[in-house]
Amino acid sequence: MLPSARQFVIAAVLLVLAAVLGGPSVTAMARRGAAGGQQPPVAPASQTPRPSASPSPPPDGRGFGPIPGPSGPRPEFSPWWKDADIVKQVGLTPAQVNSIDKLYERRLKQIQLQADEFAKQSAELDRMMSERLVKPEEIEFQAQKMLTPKAYIDISRFRMLYEMSKVMTVEQNKKLQDVVQHRREQQRREQAERGRGRNPSAQ
C-alpha cells in the first residue's frame, strides 16, 4: 500500500471510531497538529537532528514551542527561544534567538492560507460526519480535501524545525533537548503530586 493510501486508511478508521464512540473528532485532533507548536532538536553526536513523530503532550497541556527533534506539535506552547532561563542554559546568542524567531514568524505567514483552508474543510467534515446523510464516497473525498492543506502545513513544519536546528550547534541542540526533557519530567512529577493531593485514597 502506498504511504498516502495508508495514511488515508488510518485517518478514515479514526474518523469512524470518533463518530461511533462519540469521542473528540478526528479533525479536532488533526487541527492540533496544524496549530504550529513544536519541540526541541535532538542532536546526534555528529550530525544535525532530524524531526520525528510527536510524543504525548506534557501533563499541563503546554509545550515549549518548535524544537527540532523527536517531538511534534502542541495545541498550546510557549516559545522556548524567548525563555531567558532556557536561552542561558543552551547558550544562545541574541543573533541566534532572532534568527529562530524569524523562522517561526515566516512559517506562520507562509501557512496562513493553508491553515484557513484546513480549518474550513475540517469544519465541513465534522458537519458531514455528525449529520450522517452523505455517501461514504463523499466522506472520503472531503477527508482528502481536509488532508491536502494539512500535508503542506506538516511539511513546512519539518523544514522549519530543521532550519532552527541548523541555527544552533550540535552541542546547543543537545543542551536544549536536555533542558526541555528535565522540565517535562518535573511537570509530570508535579502533576502526580497534585493528583495524590486530590485523591488521598490513592496514596
pTM beyond 0.85, yes or no: no
Distance of alpha carbon 177 from alpha carbon 188, whole angstroms: 16
pLDDT tens digits along 21-43? 344 443 444 454 444 554 554 43
pLDDT tens digits along 129-155? 999 999 999 999 999 999 999 999 999
Distance of alpha carbon 171 from alpha carbon 131, whole angstroms: 53
Domains, in order of start, for the chain = 58-188 (1.20.120)
C-alpha cell at 194: 497534585
**In the 8-state DSSP scheme, what is residue 46?**
T
Beta carbons of 153 and 125 less than 8 angstroms apart: no
C-alpha cell at 202: 490513592
Beta carbons of 63 and 39 less than 8 angstroms apart: yes
